[in-house]
Structure 1
């Protein structure tokens, strides 16, 4: 074979090898594409931190309005068949403040008796914790209604005769002199009812707003039986 022929054969082989090399280089992106496209689907399948935190977030604060009717204890003992006192069976009054007593009371708290009187002609049962709102001037950022938390510390069951009374109480944290918020009215819903009663708030008694606090100094206590 002549030198010219060998040279042509070598050049031809080199050209064929170049074609295979280009083909191999051109196929690389197509082979890698599935791995690249798989990555986003893996990351999108896992929930983000913000998704999980939003599902476990605390309920929004109560925006105000009428107080909720309280959840009441299951009646126990004799007299369980006595019907509940309805709002129409009752009147309500709010006494003057006195130093708070009992567990949790401190020098900065006062207690106001919230007394329900049976104005009907028959016995009725009154027990549990009433719903209570304090209404007053608009107070930023809280608004004009203070929805009080409840302490379920009243009697399990209580029958109130005609003309007799039963008493809950409002424990409140007094404000420093010249500060605080002064309500004008108490709105209360007896346990198990949806209709409200109203009483005037003592003039000049300012309190400290603690809407949403974990351990507030202002709250409503459960109903207790008054002496016969």
Structure 2
């Protein structure tokens, strides 16, 4: 996120449209949440570059920011369908009662769907025993990342086939898929961690993303006009 901050910290980088409305993270805000996530993962959870966190959340701004937090700490993400899930250190989920969460041996981090990032308990939900209500733990983290520094060669994704993918390879994938530098990409939401990472590819070429849970052609075309973006 450093190049975004140096160039234009106020520009939007992640924008989401869900049934709870529109939310937007500027470069500065996205970097702030990434730093908090990185500090949580590397500090409180003691994760190291090379560790893996599973992500099982619907399209929303906070799961996207948490993926950036994993990457800040050099920690890869995977889906629950990936072979890497069996050895994942933590699971980020919105459903602590899912079979994957109930049977998971590592740290279960419960994410609220509150549009302003309040915790599950704070927004009226319940948190099962042994599960961490993530948002309150995240908010108290420092705004500057202080953990281990990782580079572009770090593995950022272990895909559904079990293949590790580095940051360099994701940047190459963005170029190979014709993602233009600085593009404001308008697209439907994700289905799993693999497609979540695919949706974030524009960030690797100084672009931004607009994600909509309504992925109909008419809706995306409308958002492209409103957001001055390009449907991809």
State the TM-score, normalizing by the size of structure 2: 0.22
Q: Which has the higher strand share?
A: 1
Q: Flag the structure with larger Rg.
A: 1
Q: Which has the higher helix share?
A: 2
